């Protein structure tokens, strides 16, 4: 059993009868702590459905999902919400920062949602922001940041709850080539040093060099591609 993410024979159906759509078909994958895995595939192939199930946002129709050894496919909504808050870091296409919070507060709000902000949380937030090259931006608001700085803030925020798993959905979509490399390199570095299991959905072939394994999603099936490196 892994402390990362283990998805076994997961299928997902939407609708019923003639309208039934098979979005995922018998998908299995294990991502160990410290592994950075990419999923590529055409529009409609099932990538968002896959990431939503891996991130405890959506329930599978069949199969099992284990996160840090816990069988989350059997969890109640309340338990799933706690898993999302405590064990998963999400990095989305656009950074989804809160417009009226400065960079430091974007991280502290994660702790506030889970309870109370302690002095050690503040110190950890500052440390993360320093690691991600944002030490001079702690008091800046999102509108004062570049695209890359926003995405780096979102990476720091995703790390704030010491997640076992990071799920990134097209994290380079709004970035130019240089910023895209910077951002994915930083995700990769954090995944390795903090021993996090990470999955990145991407259309961006240039980002695959940072990943340990690359999977193709095709018509709801997940297939291992040749090695990226
Ligand atoms: N809520 C839903 N109800 C019905 N069908 C859905 C729903 N969500 C997704 N689908 C269908 O499931 C399939 C997989 O969709 P999904 O959004 O997972 O693909 P995707 O690979 O993420 O696509 P994209 O790259 O365009 O975001 C598609 O055929 C889609 O039309």
- Which atom of ligand 1 is closest in space to residue 41's alpha carbon? 21
Q: What residue ranges define each of the domains in the chain, with the CATH number in brackets?
A: 5-95+146-224 (3.40.50.300)
pLDDT in tens, the chain (229 residues): 778 999 999 999 999 999 999 999 999 999 999 999 999 999 999 999 999 999 999 999 999 999 999 999 899 999 999 999 889 999 988 888 999 999 999 999 988 887 889 999 999 999 999 999 999 999 999 999 999 999 999 999 999 999 999 999 999 988 889 989 998 999 999 999 999 999 999 988 889 999 999 999 999 999 999 754 5
What's the CA-to-centroid distance between 47 and ligand 1, angstroms?
8
What's the CA-to-centroid distance between 202 and ligand 1, angstroms?
15
Residue from 11, 21, 24, 168 whose mutation best tests the ligand 1 pocket (most atoms within 8 A of CB):
21
Provide the strand spans (E) within the chain.
5-14, 21-31, 36-40, 62-67, 70-71, 88-91, 165-169, 197-201, 213-218, 221-224
- Say what the pLDDT of residue 227 is: 57
- Say what the pLDDT of residue 188 is: 96
- Say what the pLDDT of residue 228 is: 46
What's the CA-to-centroid distance between 48 and ligand 1, angstroms?
7
- Which atom of ligand 1 is closest in space to residue 50's alpha carbon? 18
- Which atom of ligand 1 is closest in space to residue 45's alpha carbon? 21
- Say what the pLDDT of residue 57 is: 93
What's the CA-to-centroid distance between 43 and ligand 1, angstroms?
8
* Among 150, 157, 138, CA closest to 90: 157
| Residues within 6 Å of ligand 1 by CB | 14-15, 21, 23, 41, 43-49
Residue with CA closest to ligand 1 atom 18: 46
The torsion angles phi and psi of 61, rounded to 5 degrees, stand at -80, -35
What's the CA-to-centroid distance between 56 and ligand 1, angstroms?
17
């Amino acid at each position: 059993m892994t402390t990362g993410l283990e998805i076994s024979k997961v299928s997902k159906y939407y609708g019923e009868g003639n309208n039934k759509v098979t979005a995922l078909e018998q998908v299995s994958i294990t991502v160990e702590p410290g592994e950075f895995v990419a999923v590529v595939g055409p529009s409609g192939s099932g990538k968002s459905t896959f990431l939503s199930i891996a991130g405890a946002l959506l329930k599978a129709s069949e199969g099992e999902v284990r996160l840090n050894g816990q069988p989350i496919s059997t969890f109640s909504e309340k338990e799933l919400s706690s898993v999302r808050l405590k064990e998963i870091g999400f990095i989305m296409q656009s950074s989804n920062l809160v417009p009226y919070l400065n960079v430091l507060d974007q991280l502290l709000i994660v702790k506030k949602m889970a309870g109370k902000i302690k002095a050690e949380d503040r110190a950890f937030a500052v440390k993360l922001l320093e690691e991600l090259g944002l030490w001079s931006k702690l008091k800046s608001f999102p509108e004062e940041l570049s695209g890359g700085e926003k995405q780096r803030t979102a990476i720091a925020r995703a790390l704030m709850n010491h997640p076992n798993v990071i799920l990134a959905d097209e994290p380079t979509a709004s970035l130019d080539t240089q910023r895209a490399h910077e951002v994915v390199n930083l995700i990769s570095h954090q995944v390795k040093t903090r021993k996090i299991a990470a999955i990145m959905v991407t259309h961006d072939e240039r980002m695959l060099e940072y990943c340990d394994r690359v999977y193709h999603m095709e018509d709801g099936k997940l297939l291992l591609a040749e090695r990226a490196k």
